[in-house]
């Protein structure tokens, strides 16, 4: 079953406001007002609608920047899902930018093209353009997705927002899960790190590079602090992400890095949750070492080196006795 709920077209004004993002606020407000009054409460509580409402102005700005003069929105209800199509008549996207599932992880870890362009134009504040990445991530948490492609056989771009036709708590849609940080950006960086340990290098760059600003920079700094010296309070509960030993090594002292090279091991079998108490025993009886802070790292390395020294001394003694 495919039921067309709304098919709404609005003109995008050519004039722009004096703002970094060039938002056409009146157009966005008009779109939201018109659509909201025509939808059922059931549809308005889906993740797809919440994502659309949050990012509508970003979609219109993107269309405006692409030279579009018309903005079209269609709501389609399927048997168990809701699909929102957003179309314009602008220049469309470069082929390499098209995606059937928006990669929020790549977006959150890199500077957007729009931010680069704004910076190159001499604007003092270019923003970070994270609206689509946070929307895509919030949708993914609700088993939905965001697709951005070019329209077929005609000029313009097509955005699709899809989610199950089930109720979603609007107050929690853009809020982090318990134990996942102070805001959604914190959570996104932590989840990106869970998916790919190499993301730690980019998170470090975000925390220190002038190319990144605002919420994302603060989130990166918070994540690095959280990983290096997690607390034992309620913020680090059972839902905290898993921190593997290679990640800990990458955040620890130079001694730890040298020891990792000396051990000639690129990965370790142990995995330690962030909520492990500070009194957690450090094991040096195998190639796996569990610890958190640089001090615990140094203590573990010292214990390991001491253990190796004792073993070497015993071996020398056995050899001499032979």
pLDDT per position as a tens digit, 12-63 = 877 654 444 454 677 888 899 999 999 999 999 999 999 999 999 889 888 9
> If DSSP codes are grouped into helix, strand and coil, which group holds residue 95?
helix
Structure tokens at 156: 């313009």
Q: DSSP string spanning 138-207?
A: HHHHTT-EEEEEEPTTSSSEEEEEEEESS---TTTTTSPPTTS-SSHHHHHHHHHHHH-TTHHHHHHHHH
Question: For residue 26, what are the contacts with CB-CB under 8 A and spacing of at least 6?
Answer: 13
Would you give the distance in Å from CA 235 to the centre of its chain?
19
| pLDDT for the residue numbered 313 | 59
pTM value is: 0.68
Listed as ranges, residues in the chain with pLDDT below 50 are 17-21, 23, 115-128, 230-298, 301, 308
Neighbours of 129 (CB within 10 A): 20
Among the four given CATH numbers 3.30.565.10, 3.20.20.60, 3.40.640.10, 3.40.50.300, the one describing domain 2-164: 3.30.565.10
| pLDDT for the residue numbered 183 | 92
For the chain, which residues make up each domain, given as ranges? Answer: 2-164, 184-311
Terminal Cα-to-Cα distance of the chain (whole angstroms): 84
């Amino acid at each position: 079953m495919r039921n067309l709920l709304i098919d709404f077209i609005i003109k995008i004004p050519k004039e722009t406001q004096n703002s970094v993002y060039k938002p056409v606020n009146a157009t966005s407000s008009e779109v939201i007002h018109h659509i909201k009054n025509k939808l059922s409460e059931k549809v308005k509580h889906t993740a797809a609608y919440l994502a659309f409402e949050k990012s509508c102005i970003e979609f219109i700005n993107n269309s405006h920047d692409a030279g579009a003069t018309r903005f079209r929105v269609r709501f389609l209800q399927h048997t168990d899902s809701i699909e929102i199509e957003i179309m314009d008549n602008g220049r469309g996207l470069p082929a390499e930018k098209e995606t059937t599932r928006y990669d929020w992880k790549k977006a959150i870890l890199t500077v957007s093209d729009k931010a680069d362009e704004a910076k190159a134009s001499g604007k003092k504040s270019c923003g970070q353009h994270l609206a689509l990445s946070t929307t895509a991530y919030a949708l993914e948490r609700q088993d939905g997705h965001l697709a951005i492609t070019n329209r077929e056989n005609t000029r313009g771009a097509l955005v699709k927002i899809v989610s199950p036709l089930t109720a979603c708590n609007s107050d929690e849609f853009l809020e982090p899960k318990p134990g996942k940080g102070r805001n959604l950006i914190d959570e996104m960086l932590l989840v990106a790190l869970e998916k790919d340990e190499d993301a730690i290098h980019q998170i470090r760059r975000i925390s220190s590079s002038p190319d990144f600003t605002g919420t994302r920079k603060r989130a990166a700094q918070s994540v690095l602090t959280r990983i290096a010296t997690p607390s034992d309070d309620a913020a680090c509960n059972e839902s905290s992400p898993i921190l593997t030993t290679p990640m800990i090594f990458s955040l620890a002292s130079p001694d730890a890095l040298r020891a990792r090279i000396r051990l000639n091991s690129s990965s370790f079998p142990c995995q330690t949750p962030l909520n492990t108490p500070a009194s957690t025993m450090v094991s040096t009886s195998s190639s796996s070492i569990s610890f958190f802070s640089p001090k615990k790292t140094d203590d573990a390395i010292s214990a390991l080196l001491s253990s190796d020294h004792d073993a070497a001394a015993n071996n020398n003694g056995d050899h001499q006795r032979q």
